[in-house]
C-alpha cells in the first residue's frame, strides 16, 4: 500500500500520456478478448489497471534476434507498446532504453534493489552455457551471470519467444554454444513460456497485461504456456481443416490444388503438431497468417523445430541416422533385410533339418502301417 501512494497507476500513466478514457476502455476490452475472458472481466481489468501501481519490468536480451520485441511493439493496440512497454514500466531493455553503458546498468541495479521481489523479469533469447558462457556478454558479464542476478529478485519470469522458451535456432544441432532455455537454468521462480518465433504481439500483450493487472500468472498448461493461447494446435483452428478431413491436399506448390486452397499437410505443414494461436489471432493486426498466405506452418513455437525433419515434406526424421534417413526409409530397409534374413533362415532350416524331418516322417509312416483301423 505504501508503494501505491508513491507510484503512478497504469490508468494515470495512460491518461497522462494523452489517451482518453475511451481509448483505455477499448484497450482493456481488446485484452480481455485476447485472454479469452468473459465480459465481466473487462471491468476487473479496468479496475485493476486503475488501482494497481505500475510494476517495474526488466527486459533482458541474450542470444536472440529481437524479433520478439519487434512483434510486441507492433501489437494491435498502441497503448501496449506506448504505455506498458515504452514509457511506463520498462526500467531496462537494451533495445529501447535511452540510457546506455554505465547509466543503464546503474538504472537496472537500482530497480533490482528498490523493487526486490516485485519486478517482472522478461527474457528474450537463450543463454549460452558452453565455454563458461563467453558467447554472450553484456556490460562485460556473461548472460548466465546476468540472468542469475536478475532472476534472484524477480517476482516472476516471462520467457519470450522460442529462444527463451525452447532454445530455437541457436540450439539447433550441433548447438555450438550450448544455448539453453531459461526454465532449464532457473528452477526456483515461476516461469511463463511464450514460445513462437516470434510470439504473436497480441499474445505477448495479453500475457503481460494479465500479469500486471491481476498480479498473478495466467492459467498455464503442463509446459508452462498460457492456456489462453497455446491450448489448441494451429491445425485445430485452421480454416483449411475441412480439406484435411476430406483428404484433399496440395501435392506441390504449383499445382491446381494449391490454387484451390487445399490443405498443406503433404507439403510439410506442421500445424498438426504446433500449439499456437495463429489461426485465431493471426498476424500483422489480423491480416493473415502463413497458411492463409499459402505456406504451411513451420512449427516455430514447438521445441526443437529446426531439427524436426524437412520443412516442405511430411517426414519422420530419425535422429542419429543422417540427413537422408527418415523413419519410413529406415523401416522399409530394415523390413526388407529382415525378410531376406528370414528367407535365408528358412532355406537353411530346410537343409539342416532335412535328415531329422525325414526320419520323423518315416516313423510316422511306420506308425500308419501299424495302426489297425
Partner 1 sequence: MGTKLYKRVYVWEFPVRLFHWLNAAAILVLVVTGLFIGDPLALMENDEAYKTFVMGTVRYVHFVAAYVLLVVFLLRIYWGFVGNKYARWKNFLPFGKNKAKKLGHVIKHDILLVPEKKEDYYHELSIGHNPVASTAYLIFFVLLAVMVLTGFGLYSQNASWWLPKLFSWVPPLLGGDFGTRLVHHTTMWLIILFIIVHVYLVIYHDVVEARGEVSSMISGYKFARWERFRSFVRRKEKIRKILEEPVEEEMMS
Interacting residue ranges for ligand SF4, rule: CB under 6 A: 196, 234-235, 238, 240-241, 244, 263-265, 269, 271-272, 274, 276, 278, 289-291, 296-301
* Residue 99 interacting partner from partner 1, ligand HEM, ligand SF4, none (CB closer than 5 to 8 Å by kind): none
Alpha helices in the chain (DSSP H): 2-6, 10-16, 21-34, 40-51, 67-73, 78-79, 101-114, 143-152, 161-165, 201-214, 227-230, 241-246, 256-260, 278-281, 327-352, 354-370
Applying CB under 8 A, among 139, 338, 358, 365 the residue interacting with partner 1 is 338
Smallest gap from residue 306 Cβ to ligand HEM (A) = 19
| SS3 call for 283 | strand
Task: Tell me, residue by residue from 261 to 290, as one string, x for binding to partner 1 by CB under 8 A and - for no binding.
Answer: ----xx---x-xxxx---------------
Indicate whether 373 belongs to the interface with partner 1 (CB under 8 A): no
Site residues (CB under 8 A) for partner 1, limited to 131-150: none
* Residue 271 interacting partner from ligand SF4, partner 1, ligand HEM, none (CB closer than 5 to 8 Å by kind): ligand SF4
Query: Across the beta sheet with 156-160, what order do the strands follow?
Result: 90-93, 57-61, 120-124, 156-160, 191-194
Smallest gap from residue 249 Cβ to ligand SF4 (A) = 8
Paired strand residues for 275: 233
CA distance 270 to 302: 10
| SS3 call for 90 | strand
* Residue 355 interacting partner from partner 1, ligand HEM, ligand SF4, none (CB closer than 5 to 8 Å by kind): partner 1
Site residues (CB under 6 A) for ligand HEM, limited to 299-358: 316
* Residue 298 interacting partner from ligand HEM, ligand SF4, partner 1, none (CB closer than 5 to 8 Å by kind): ligand SF4
Indicate whether 5 belongs to the interface with partner 1 (CB under 8 A): no
Applying CB under 6 A, among 272, 295, 308, 318 the residue interacting with ligand HEM is 272
> What is the pairing mode between strands 127-128 and 137-138?
unpaired
Smallest gap from residue 245 Cβ to ligand SF4 (A) = 8
- HSE, CB side, 13 Å, CA atoms: give it for residue 92: 26
Site residues (CB under 8 A) for partner 1, limited to 168-227: 222-223
Q: Record the cell numbers describing residue 31, joined without a space.
A: 485484452
Q: Which is nearer to ligand HEM, 272 or 294 (CB)?
A: 272
> What is the pairing mode between strands 156-160 and 120-124?
parallel
What's the DSSP call for residue 224? S
Amino acid at each position: 500500500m505504501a508503494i501505491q501512494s508513491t507510484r503512478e497507476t497504469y490508468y494515470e500513466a495512460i491518461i497522462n500520456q494523452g489517451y482518453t478514457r475511451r481509448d483505455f476502455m477499448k484497450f482493456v476490452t481488446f485484452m480481455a478478448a485476447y485472454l479469452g475472458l468473459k465480459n465481466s472481466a473487462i471491468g476487473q481489468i479496468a479496475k485493476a489497471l486503475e488501482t494497481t501501481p505500475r510494476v517495474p519490468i526488466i527486459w533482458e536480451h541474450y542470444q536472440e534476434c529481437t524479433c520478439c520485441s519487434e512483434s510486441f511493439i507492433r501489437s494491435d493496440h498502441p497503448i501496449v507498446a506506448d504505455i506498458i512497454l515504452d514509457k511506463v514500466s520498462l526500467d531496462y531493455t537494451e533495445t529501447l532504453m535511452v540510457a546506455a553503458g554505465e547509466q543503464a546498468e546503474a538504472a537496472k541495479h537500482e530497480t533490482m534493489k528498490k523493487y526486490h521481489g516485485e519486478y517482472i523479469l522478461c527474457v528474450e533469447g537463450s543463454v549460452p552455457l558452453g565455454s563458461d558462457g563467453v558467447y554472450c556478454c553484456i556490460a562485460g558479464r556473461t548472460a548466465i551471470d546476468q540472468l542469475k542476478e536478475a532472476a534472484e529478485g524477480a517476482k516472476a519470469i516471462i520467457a519470450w519467444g522460442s529462444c527463451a522458451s525452447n532454445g530455437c535456432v541457436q540450439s539447433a544441432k550441433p548447438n555450438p554454444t550450448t544455448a539453453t532455455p531459461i526454465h532449464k537454468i532457473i528452477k526456483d521462480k515461476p516461469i511463463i513460456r511464450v514460445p513462437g518465433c516470434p510470439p504473436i504481439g497480441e499474445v505477448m500483450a495479453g500475457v503481460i497485461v494479465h500479469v500486471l493487472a491481476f498480479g498473478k500468472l495466467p492459467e498455464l498448461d503442463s509446459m508452462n504456456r498460457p492456456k489462453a493461447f497455446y491450448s489448441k494446435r494451429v491445425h485445430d483452428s485452421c480454416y483449411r481443416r475441412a480439406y484435411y478431413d476430406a483428404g484433399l491436399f496440395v501435392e506441390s506448390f504449383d499445382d491446381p490444388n494449391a490454387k484451390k486452397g487445399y490443405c498443406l499437410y503433404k507439403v510439410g505443414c506442421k500445424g498438426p503438431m504446433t500449439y499456437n494461436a495463429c489461426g485465431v489471432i493471426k498476424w500483422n493486426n489480423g491480416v493473415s497468417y502463413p497458411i492463409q498466405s499459402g505456406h504451411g506452418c513451420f512449427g516455430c513455437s514447438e521445441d526443437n523445430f529446426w531439427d524436426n525433419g524437412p520443412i516442405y515434406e511430411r517426414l519422420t526424421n530419425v535422429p542419429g541416422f543422417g540427413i537422408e534417413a527418415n523413419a519410413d526409409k529406415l523401416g522399409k530397409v530394415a523390413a526388407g533385410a529382415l525378410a531376406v534374413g528370414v528367407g535365408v533362415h528358412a532355406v537353411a532350416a530346410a537343409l539342416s533339418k532335412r535328415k531329422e524331418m525325414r526320419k520323423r516322417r518315416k516313423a510316422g509312416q511306420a506308425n500308419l502301417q501299424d495302426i489297425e483301423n
